[in-house]
Structure formats: C-alpha cells, structure tokens
Chain A
Amino acid sequence: MPSMSSTIELKIKRRDRPEAPPRWEEFAIEYRPNMNVISCLMEIQKRPMTRSGARTAPVNFEASCLEEVCGSCTMLINGRPRQACSTLVDKTGTRLELAPLSKFPVVRDLVVDRSSLFERFRQVKAWVPIDGTYNLGPGPRLSPADQDFRYLLSRCMSCACCMEACPQVNDRSPFLGPATLNQVLLMITHPTGALNKEERLEAIMGPGGLGDCGDAQNCVRACPKEIPLTTSIAQLNREATSYAVRRWLKR
C-alpha cells in the first residue's frame, strides 16, 4: 500500500473551452479514508482554490452512477485511462495527476466529447433487427454457457478506456476500435443478430475494420470490466476469414 500523507496533492490539466490552450493547476485537499477521485473533485467544488490560494473555477468533470456501470467518468489518472469513481486514493497514493482523454476532443477541463463512439455503433448497426416491440412471444433459447459469454461482452459501458489505450485509434486512422468490434461480436452471437451476420462481417472487413488492429493488446489491459477484447477480435477474425472463403467459393 502506498504511503498516505494527510493531504492529497492533485495536478489537473485544465482548459476553459475547446479552442483554449491547456494549463495545469495544482490543488491540495485534506485526506480522508475511502476517498475516490470523484470525492476529491467534489472537495475542490467546495473550496475552489488552487494550492497557492488563488481563486479558480471548480473543475469540470463528467460523472453519474459512481459505481462503474455508466462509463461517464473516464479520465487519465496518473497517465492511465480509468474510471474516476473506482479509482481509490487508498490504492493510488495521495499524489494524483488528472487529465482529459487524449483521443477525443476536449470540451472543458476533464470533459471530452465521446459521441464518435456512439456514431461507430450506428455505423456497424449494433442492434438486433426485431420485427417490433409488440408481444411476439419469447425469443430464441440459449444455453447458459452461450448466454454467459454474451453477458461478458455485453457489460461494455462505452467508457472508451480501450480506445484511449489503443495505439491504432487516432485522428489519422479510421480504425473502429475494440469497443465497437466487440459490439459486432455481441450481435452475431445472438441467434437473431446472426441472421445478417455476413452483412455485419462485411462492414468490418474494409478500411477501419479488423485489419487495422495492430494486436498491441493494450485494450484488454485497460478495460475496467475485464472484457476479453482481444479474444473478441480474434474470434471475429476467424469468422471473417471463413466468411471470406465462402464468399470466394460462391463467386
């Protein structure tokens, strides 16, 4: 366990608006047991003053559920993409450096615009195409094992830690990234979602798709929900290869 001093020292990368230059501000707050990064930021709201006593605006950040299911509060904490809610000061130590994610446009302070991720979900049509929501009786049966596997994938909370960690995701590349590819696997492992499996695979076989994965394996280490992202991508690769062969044979 790291040594605990009675003050928590925070260095936070701030920016007033998207086009403003970034700056670092330092804060010191009193340590209490069981604090997480969110409670540190709340403490700053209560006394918005830098370490040197200068008046400043409270630090802007995104947060909602605070129990690591909504995916809102992703930021760089001591250089690593993490959820601020589940990062406990008792584990990180009392020196913290907070910065916004670097792969997404900064809005203000620690807030970034991750709407491109949801746009990608739309691009790969990450939904089961049901006929309607009226009562058409039960869905297809699934074995507990298949279901458990899908559940594992389905816990992705779109936090974007994997995209931040992935060297292939950047402004110069159209790579969809691990979270979106994982959605594709989730869809084709459902019996109804699999009905248009070929179309779904087709969509990730071109530019920005599977071929752009550099196999750095950072994503799986960064995922706070321990989703086997690299296994997902490997499985998609197998599916894609077998589809490519079938497509070729059909020519």
Chain B
Amino acid sequence: MAKPVSIAVVGGGLAGLTAAIKIAEAGQHVQLFSIVPVKRSHSVCAQGGINAAVNTKGEGDSPWEHFDDSIYGGDFLADQPPVLRMCEAAPGYIYMFDRMGVPFTRTREGLIDFRRFGGTKHHRTAYAGATTGQQLLYALDEQVRRFEDDGKVTKQEGWELLSLVIDQNRICRGLTAIDLWSMEVDAFPADAVILATGGIGAIFGKSTNSIICTGSAQAAAYQQGAVYANGEFIQVHPTAIPGEDKHRLMSESVRGEGGRVWTYKNGKPWYFLEEKYPAYGNLVPRDIATREIFQVCLEGHGVDGKMMVYLDITHMDPQVLTRKLGGVLEIYEKFVGPDPRKVPMIVFPAVHYTMGGLWVGFDQMTNLPGLFAAGECDYSIHGANRLGANSLLSCLYGGETAAAHAVPFAQGHQKRAPEKSHPLFTAEALRQREINATIMRKRGPENLRALHEEMGQWMTEHVTVIRHNDKLRRTDEKLRELQERWDRIDLNDEGAFANQSLLYARQLDGMLKLARVITLGAIRRDESRGAHYKPEFASRDDAHWLRTTMATWTPEGPELSYEPVDTSLIPPRPRKYDVEKQTAFLL
C-alpha cells in the first residue's frame, strides 16, 4: 500500500475538525494546527443550533425547501450547486453527531427536537440546549483525540500559521508557523493544506466573535495570491448585548422559541417587526431585522433614545426557557444582571459573521492549487446574507468536501512534498523570522491596541449596516493612514518567550489589509443586496451586480474583479418577507 499522504489542516473549529476526521478516516495523516487547544476554538460560541431538513414535525420540509430558503435568504449571491449538496447532506450530519453522543435536546418520544430559526417557516434547527456549537465541537474533538491516539492525527496546538509555502509552479506545498510559547518559527511540508480558520470579527474591534477571530491566516493567504471573495458581505446580528471587551450574542433561537422584539412608540409597546413583516415577524433574516432596528432607533424610538430595543421572553414558561435557552439566558444574567424571564432584555445590533472569505471552487480549493479552505473562512454557501444555523452546517459540508478533494489531490502529486530541509522551506522560514525580527525592534509612538480600536470604530461606524460612498472612501483613507502608523508602533515587549505583542502586531497588519478588501468591495458595489445596504442605491441590481467580488492583493491595495454567480438551479426572484415565500420549482 502506498505511504499515506500528509495533509495540514489549519484550524480546529467545526470545519477543521470535520476535515481532520474525514482525512484520518480515509487512512491518511493529518497535521492539525490551531492557535488555541482545538477544544477552545470559536465554534464553541454557537448557541442556537444547526439546520437540517429532517422533517420530523409534519411540516413537509425537505432539503429542497431548505435550499430554496438559503438561496433566497442569501439574496441570490451564492453559487447554487454546493448549497443544494449541503442541504441534502445535512440530515446525515445530524445523525452522525447523534451517534457520537451529542446531547441534542429531545422530544418526549426520545427523538431529536427541532426549533425554528430566521428566514424559514419550518422547524429545522437541531440544538443542544443553547450551547449547540460547544456540544458539536466537543463531539468532534473527542473523535479527533481518538485518531490522535491511533497516530493518524498529529496536533500542533498553540501554533499560529504565518505563511504558506508556495513553489515555483504556484502550488501550495506546506506552511510556516510559530510556536506561541517558544516563539520558534518552523516550516511544515504538506501534500495539501486546508485552511479552516474561521471569521474576521476582530476587524470591527468589538463583535460577537471570539477575540482570536482575526483572520490572520486568510490575510496571509491573500497576500500570497489567494483570491478573497465577497469581502463586503459582513453580517450584523440584530440582538447582542454591548460589552467593554466584546459584544455578546443573544441567539436568534430566543426569537425562534417565541421571543418578541419591540420598543416604545407613543408610550405603547410597538412590535415593529411583527407589524411590518406579518409573514415572518420576529424571524425575518438578520440583515432585515438589523436594518429595521437601526431605522426605528434612528427615528428616535430606541430604548432611552439609544441604538437599543427590547427582546422579550417574559410571556413564556420559565421552565421551558431554562431547558431550551438556558445557556443564552445565563450569559445575559452573568454579564448584564436582571433575570430575562422577568424583565425584557435590552439588545442592539453587533457584527457577527463573515459571509465573504477565501474564494474556493466547488471542490473547496482556492485559486492556489493544493490550498483548500472551508468553514467561515471561505466565501461560499451564504451569499449576501447567512441564515441562522446554516453556518455550523456549512462548516461540516465544507470540511467534508475539502477533505474529499484534498486527499486525491495530494495522492496525485508526481512527487511528495520536499523535505523540510529543502530551500523552499528554509527560505520561507527565514523570511518569517526576519519579519518577526523587524517587528520586535519597533519602538515608535503608536500603541497596537489603540490602533486596533481606532480601526474597529471606523469599520463599525461606516462599513456595517448603512453604507455611504463618501464615508466608505474616508474609511479607506483612514485605513491607509492606520497602515502607515502601524509602521511606527511600539512593540513594547522584548520578551523572547510567549511574546503575544509580536503576534498581535502581525494580526493587526493582516486585519488592515482585509479591512481594505471589505471597504473597497463595498465602495464598488453600487446596489443593495442582503447585508450590503446603500441608501443611494437602495435596490438589488441583478443586471450589474449579480456577481461575485474577487479581490487580489497588490502592493498598492486590493485589485477587484468580478465573476458571474452560478444560478443554474433557481432563477433569481425578488426577495420579500412581508408575504410568505413561494418556493421555486425543483428543476
């Protein structure tokens, strides 16, 4: 039998662990890299659940219906074939997790229960209390530990990817990474590399993401020639609670279980979502709920005149609430205080999800042969707006698909990746050490965290819910200014051991690069679609903009080009949530 190939999986969230398990199951070897022990990856944050049209509620749900909801919810910007495949694979993933022992919340008959989420009329979301992501990640973590025990997976936890190793034929042959404790930089040959490095919420300063979601790996790949697609599509979640260090999510499942959004108007409670969208009410997709909340608050109806509204569950049975939403309510109680079963919660919109990401084909391979991407870090599946509980699912689909294609790709190489001692690897490791040495010497007047906060404020104010071209342009100028100021930072830490400031400096540099991709993509796209909304161009413009934005790095900044969207399965139609959606015919 041929020697197994060795594939580097970067990222130990749901997407990365899925890929790792599938590769190990195929008898191949995995090198698994992660900044944090994989069990602490950002996927633990997912609260509400994971979608699959298992149809156990007698509602006539089907993978096709799920597909149609997802494409419609994404405002037709997603390439359709992989979305259909994902929806068809979904029930199988739920069963797999069930067999792994995920404590999904059950019905009386002992079956997995499903609840409602935004952008659909069906009970399609499986959940484990209100810490679903945590429970799914733990199940995969356990299985990966089993493969580790068998020697099929080698973990490199506490290593951060710095760059890819790309040969003269533009084929990805491995990567360089740094040990976050010893600060040793090393190169790792691999027969293929899969990036599963999550979202980039940190670009907006505070978001609902974990603070490690800086996109450092995507930024590295982008600067080495990987195309970054649909960067301008950033999801702002309607219901979060503001914090000093980060914003904390109050999951859409709260509304899925019956929570209502309201604020006072003329002294009386005004359920504005239910009034404006009778068909979907509080469960309109996130881009719409967020814009409506912004609108009523801008009109002066926010709680205490601020950008905040009520999220109310006080009419519901406290015991049911604890069982189905305990994890979310606990966050509110721990970080805000009052018992949400008794007093309406006060919430506001916060940056939440990265729809854009590394461009991939239907095989999850980027434009660089041998480099794959999966999960939140890739651009596929969600189009202009992600539906709630579709992300965990897309991590499973992306991870599985990437593994299924990376293995034959790796086996198809004429020659195995050269040894670590080959100049291809030693030169790249040296280049990275030199970058580190330069940063270590920086003793200028600028402070990293202050620069990061400034970037976050500009991005949040001008590049989120409502976008104006003049303000976007000013933001791009600001980003260029911040990039110059980044050159003059004070690293402030001579430590040769576990130097977090050095990594922070590198991450911020990458964030600034991706922030420009987001901002310039938004400037160019003169229409409104899903999460991207420009009052000057308030409607969707399929004639000009039914296209995927493709950003390529150049030293002067991102160069944008466009490619058509694959709408081969469902022709685009107007998207409305005040009336019930008419499902497209199965072709």
- Out of B44, B98, B112, B449, name the residue touching A46 (CB < 8 Å): B449
Contact with A along B239-275 (1 / 0, CB 8 A): 0000111101100000000000000000000000000
Which residues of chain B are within 8 angstroms of A128 by Cβ–Cβ distance?
99-101, 139, 142
Contact (Cβ within 8 A) B498 A107: yes
A108 touches B106 (CB 8 A): no
Contact A34 B45 (CB under 8 A): no
Q: Which of A134-157 contact B (CB under 8 A)?
A: 134-139, 141-144, 147-148, 150-151, 154-155, 157
- Is B99 a contact partner of A130 (Cβ separation < 8 A)? yes
What is the minimal beta-carbon distance from B557 to any residue of chain A, in angstroms? 28
Which listed residue (A42, A47, A157) contacts B134, Cβ 8 A? A157
Interface string of A57-79 (1 = CB under 8 A from B): 11010111111111110000000
Whether A218 is near chain B, meaning CB under 8 Å from some CB there, is: no
A243 an interface residue at 8 Å Cβ cutoff? no
Q: Please indicate the chain A residues that have their CB under 8 angstroms from the CB of B327 in the complex.
A: 69, 155
B131, A155: Cβ atoms under 8 Å? yes
Query: In the bound complex, do residue A16 and residue B495 qualify as a contact, i.e. CB atoms below 8 Å apart?
Result: yes
For residue A158, CB closer than 8 A to chain B, the reply is: yes
Cβ contacts under 8 Å, A38 to chain B: 245
- A147 pairs with B106, CB closer than 8 A: yes
Q: Does B447 contact A (CB under 8 A)?
A: yes
A187 and chain B: residue at smallest CB distance: B101
Whether A65 and B45, one on each chain, are in contact in the complex, defined by CB atoms closer than 8 angstroms, is yes
A122 and B335 form a contact (CB under 8 A): no
Any chain A CB within 8 A of the CB of B40?
yes
Known: A46-B447, A65-B210, A67-B331. A143 touches B110 (CB 8 A): yes
Which of B67-75, B144-152, B514-522 contacts the other chain? B144-152
Given A65-B42, A138-B95, A85 and B245 contact (CB-CB distance below 8 Å): yes
Option from B42, B96, B135, B492 in Cβ contact (under 8 Å) with A154:
B135
Counting chain A CB atoms within 10 Å of each CB, the highest count among B110, B210, B244 belongs to B244
The 4 closest A-B pairs by CB, nearest first: A141-B110, A139-B98, A127-B142, A135-B92
Q: Does A35 contact B (CB under 8 A)?
A: yes
- The answer to whether B497 touches A144 (Cβ under 8 A) is no
Is A144 in contact with B45, judged by CB distance below 8 angstroms?
Answer: no
Give the distance to chain A from B426, nearest Cβ to Cβ, in Å.
Answer: 27
A172 vs B192: C-alpha distance in the bound complex, in angstroms?
Answer: 44
Q: How large is the interface on B (under 10, 10 to 19, 20 to 34, 35 or more residues)?
A: 35 or more
Decide yes or no: A147 and B143 within 8 Å by CB, A39-B244, A64-B36 being known contacts.
no
Interface residue tally for chain A (C-beta within 8 Å) = 72
Q: CB-CB < 8 A to A67: which residues of B?
A: 45, 246, 248-249, 331, 335
Q: Would you call A118 and B39 a contact (CB within 8 A)? A: yes
Q: Of the candidates A36, A86, A130, A155, which one forms a contact with B143 in the assembled complex, judged by CB atoms under 8 Å apart? A: A130
- Nearest Cβ on chain B to A37's Cβ, whole angstroms: 9
**Nearest B-chain residue to A147, judged by Cβ:** B106
Known contacts: A39-B244, A148-B323. The answer to whether A60 contacts B500 by CB under 8 A is: yes
A122 near B148: Cβ-Cβ < 8 Å: yes
From A47, A121, A150, give the contact of B145 (CB < 8 A).
Answer: A121
In the assembled complex, 14 residue pairs joining A and B whose CB atoms fall closer than 8 Å, in A order, are: A46-B450, A60-B500, A64-B210, A68-B331, A68-B334, A70-B41, A70-B210, A88-B335, A107-B497, A134-B96, A139-B95, A147-B106, A187-B101, A192-B101
Q: Assess whether B22 is in contact with A133, with CB atoms less than 8 Å apart.
A: yes
Chain A residues near B100 (CB, 8 Å)? 128, 130, 139
In the complex, the answer to whether A108 meets B22 with C-beta atoms within 8 Å is no
Contact (Cβ within 8 A) A154 B138: yes
CB distance from A140 to the nearest CB of B (A): 8
Which residue from chain B places its CB closest to the CB of A186 in the assembled complex?
B101
Contacts of B143 in A (CB 8 A): 127, 130, 133
Q: Smallest CB-CB separation from A44: which chain B residue?
A: B449
Q: Is A126 among interface residues, defined by CB-CB distance under 8 A?
A: yes
Complex partner residue of B37 from A63, A118, A141, A142, CB under 8 angstroms: A118
Chain B residues contacting A158 (CB-CB under 8 Å) are: 37, 39-40
Is A151 in contact with B142, judged by CB distance below 8 angstroms? no
Q: Which residues of A contact B249 (CB under 8 A)?
A: 67
Which residue of A is nearest B112, CB measured? A138
Please indicate the chain A residues that have their CB under 8 angstroms from the CB of B25 in the complex: 132-133
User: Could you say which residues of chain A place their CB within 8 Å of the CB of B105?
Assistant: 144, 147, 151
Tell whether A95 is near chain B: CB-to-CB under 8 Å.
no
Tell me, yes or no, whether A17 is within 8 Å of chain B by CB.
yes
By a CB distance below 8 angstroms, the chain A residues around B139 are 128
- Across the interface, which residues of B come within 8 angstroms of A118, CB to CB? 37, 39, 145
Report how far A186 CA is from B102 CA in the complex, Å: 11
In angstroms, Cα B496 to Cα A17, docked, is 9
Contacts of A108 in B (CB 8 A): 181, 495, 497-498
- Quick check: is A32 within 8 A (CB to CB) of the other chain? yes
Contacts of B245 in A (CB 8 A): 36, 38-39, 42, 66, 85
Given contacts A69-B131, A192-B101, 10 further A-B contacts (CB under 8 A): A39-B245, A65-B210, A67-B249, A69-B44, A127-B142, A130-B99, A133-B25, A148-B103, A154-B103, A190-B101
Q: How far is the CB of A34 from chain B (nearest CB, A)?
A: 6
Bound form: Cα–Cα A68–B44 in Å: 10
Residue in A34, A68, A107, A122 whose beta carbon sits within 8 Å of that of B181 in the complex:
A107
Q: B31 in the interface, Cβ–Cβ < 8 Å?
A: no
Question: CB-CB contacts of B497-519 with A at 8 A, as 1s and 0s?
Answer: 11011000000000000000000
A228 within 8 Å of B (CB atoms): no
Which residue of chain A has its CB nearest to the CB of B142?
A127
Contact B108 A144 (CB under 8 A): yes
B145 touches A127 (CB 8 A): yes
Centre residue among A39, A63, A147, A148 by max chain B CB count within 10 A: A147
Q: What residues on B are CB-neighbors of A66 within 8 Å?
A: 210-211, 243, 245-246, 248
Q: How far is the CA of A48 from the CA of B494 in the complex (A)?
A: 13
A111 lies within 8 A of chain B by Cβ? yes
Query: In the assembly, what is the distance between CA of A193 and CA of B103, in Å?
Result: 13
Q: Closest Cβ of chain B: how far from A56's Cβ, in Å?
A: 8
The answer on a CB contact under 8 Å between A72 and B498 is no
Is A151 a contact partner of B103 (Cβ separation < 8 A)?
yes
CB within 8 Å for A135 and B110 given contacts A58-B501, A127-B146, A190-B101: no
Question: Per-residue CB proximity of B173-198 to A under 8 Å, as 1/0?
Answer: 00000000100000000000000000
Nearest neighbor of A37 in chain B, beta-carbon distance: B245
Closest to B139 in A: A128
Interface 1/0 per residue, A99-132 and B, CB below 8 Å:
0000000011001011100100110011111101
> Which residues on the B side are within 8 Å of A115 (C-beta)?
37, 157
Q: Is there contact, CB below 8 Å, between A35 and B99?
A: no
Closest approach, in angstroms, between the C-beta of B376 and any C-beta of chain A? 15
Asked if A242 is an interface residue, CB under 8 A from chain B, the answer is no
Q: B123: shortest Cβ distance to chain A, in Å?
A: 16
Q: Does A45 contact B (CB under 8 A)?
A: yes
CB atoms of B495 and A57 under 8 A apart: yes
Contacts of A85 in B (CB 8 A): 245
Q: Is the CB of A60 within 8 A of B498?
A: yes
Contact of A141 among B111, B181, B334 (CB under 8 A): B111
Task: Determine whether the beta carbon of A69 is less than 8 Å from that of B95.
Answer: no
Q: What is the CB-to-nearest-CB distance from A162 to chain B, in angstroms, rounded to a whole number?
A: 16
Bound: A190/B335 CA distance, A: 33
CB distance from A176 to the nearest CB of B (A): 15
| Contact call B108/A36, Cβ cutoff below 8 A | no
A101 to B129: give the CA distance in the assembly, Å.
30
The answer for the CA separation of A111 and B104 in the assembled complex, in Å, is 34
In the complex, which residues of chain B have a beta carbon less than 8 angstroms from the beta carbon of A17? 495-498
| Residue of B whose beta carbon sits closest to that of A119 | B145
